[in-house]
Amino acid sequence: MSTAPHLVPRKMGSMLALLPLLFVAIALKSNDALSVPQFWAEDATVFFKGQYGHAWPQLFVPFAGYLLFVPRLIAWLASFGSPVVAPLIYNLVAVGVSSACLAFVANKLRHIVPLPLILASFLIVPTNGEIFGTLTNIQWFLQFVLAIGCFVSPAGTRGWRAWCRVATMFALALTGPFSIIVSLTVAAMMVASWADRRSGAGLFEGQLATWGKQRDMHAIAATMAGAAMQAFVLLTLLNSQATTRPGLWSQLSTCFLDIVPIHVFGFPFMLGAAWFVIYACMLGGLISGKNIRGEHRLLLLAMLIYACAEAFAPMGLKDVTGMYQFNHGDRYYYLTKVVFWWTAYGALVAWGNMRPRDAGGSVLVVLALIALLNPFRMVRRDFADFTWQEHARDFDTPGAHIVPVNPAGWTITIDTPEKESSP
């Protein structure tokens, strides 16, 4: 008798079992986000202020050149409560959403990458902490769900569950610019799949030729529709002012030989051309290694392509000089540093005679060593307590209320109009 109907509940059960542990882990890494809830940057200046005083959700109001659907939706839902508790709601939801994203990824990839390594790659890689416990930065976790939703095989759900999945993917695609990069990655994989079919090369044990036929095309269509909307907004708001940029090779070498290693390890480690050897070994293991199933290698390859594209994206758009300092712009490299360790594991198994358990243990030891060398980069730093609650209680009083928020020097101004006197 088929056991297929029981697979989805069983997978859902394993995902739900992880949630409480991950919630505690993310809450601990977020430091005082729940005990002394404060707004962080755009939490106040964009999402709270943008929604304050509006009955309807500001879902399609762009910021920084793209749409941020999910944070805007959360800000709208939080607006039904008192402004006094808004930072707590924002931070609580941020921790919960981040935890759910990690549980989703762990559930989808645990048959490819060992579960302890998946969790360690998220939780003990060095970061500057800015992505943890703030509504502004949940997009850096949601992007994992978006990418894996496009790269893995369909879940097999039908009916309302399938429509909910499509709607979720569309909402994620409208949250940050990630859907554009994911869509380009999918397009590249589709072209490679077509080329493999035409040539009959049979790469990845024949899995590449059928890659497009084995994806969730409804999820991909929803992602691409969102990407088209994001691209339209981006092109509409893009500053066309001419700037001088280094050549392509200079940008590539700066990104992958200098900046990426700093953010992966938390300090300058073996910068320069030696990284060509490491990258070649990792890529070669995914392409030609035989000790991991072709389908699994393709998933890791798609994630690697996506991570590299995201790491490289700021090179032509921003002044990246500050990114040589670990604490500057580290959020742009969170995906890259997580996927780096998945790929390192995959290459060790694919190239060598190491058993998956031994390879996973070896990578975990290296990750633990890096964590020991970065003790102050495991937990987000304390935020200053600007007593938001006291300020928020005065919002009913007519006048301009200037409230300081984190980081120090940022403020938000709430204008409360005079109440009209009754005739």
The model's pLDDT over 97-119, given as tens digits with 9 standing for 90+, comes to: 999 999 999 999 999 999 999 99
3: pLDDT confidence band, cut at 50, 70 and 90? very low
Q: Residue 323's pLDDT band (boundaries 50, 70, 90)? A: confident
- What is the per-residue pLDDT across 221-270, written as a single tens digit (0 to 9) for each? 999 999 999 999 998 877 655 455 678 888 899 999 999 999 999 998 88
* CA neighbor of 349 nearest in space, from 102, 117, 66: 117
**Which of the residue ranges 184-188, 352-356, 391-395 would you say has the lowest mean pLDDT?**
352-356
Q: Residue 12 has what pLDDT?
A: 62
State phi, psi for 191 to the nearest 5 degrees.
-65, -45
pLDDT tops 70 at residue 2: no
Identity of the residue numbered 165: R
Which residue ranges make up each domain of the chain?
18-137+375-418, 158-238, 251-352
% of residues, the chain, pLDDT over 70: 93
pTM of the model: 0.93
Spatial distance between the Cα atoms of 368 and 375, rounded to a whole number of angstroms: 11
Least confident of 79-88, 148-157, 243-252, 302-311: 243-252
Q: What is the pLDDT of residue 288?
A: 84
Q: Which of 129, 73, 126 is nearest to 267 (CA)?
A: 126
Contact call for residues 40 and 390 (beta carbons, < 8 A) = no
Helix, strand, coil share of the chain (percent; to 5): 65, 5, 30
What mean pLDDT do residues 189-199 have? Answer: 95
Residue 354 banded pLDDT, cuts 50, 70, 90: confident
Contact 330, 128 (CB under 8 A): yes
Lowest mean pLDDT segment, chosen from 84-98, 169-183, 395-409: 395-409
State residue 243's pLDDT score. 54
Q: Residue 300's closest CA among 182, 120, 148?
A: 148
Which candidate, 118, 92, 91, places its Cα nearest to that of 103? 118
Rounded Cα distance, 227 and 319, in Å = 25
When the pLDDT of each residue in the chain is averaged and rounded to a whole number, the result is: 90
Residue-wise pLDDT for 9-52, tens only, equals 555 666 778 899 999 999 999 999 999 999 999 999 999 999 99
Residue 390 has pLDDT above 70, yes or no: yes
Residues whose CB falls within 8 Å of the CB of residue 54, separated by 6 or more in sequence, listed in order: 79
Q: What token pair was written down for 244? A: 């001088």
Q: Is the pLDDT of residue 341 over 80?
A: yes
Question: How confident is the model at residue 245, as a pLDDT?
Answer: 65
**Residue with more model confidence, 273 or 136:** 136
pLDDT the model gives residue 244? 57
- 356 or 126, greater pLDDT: 126
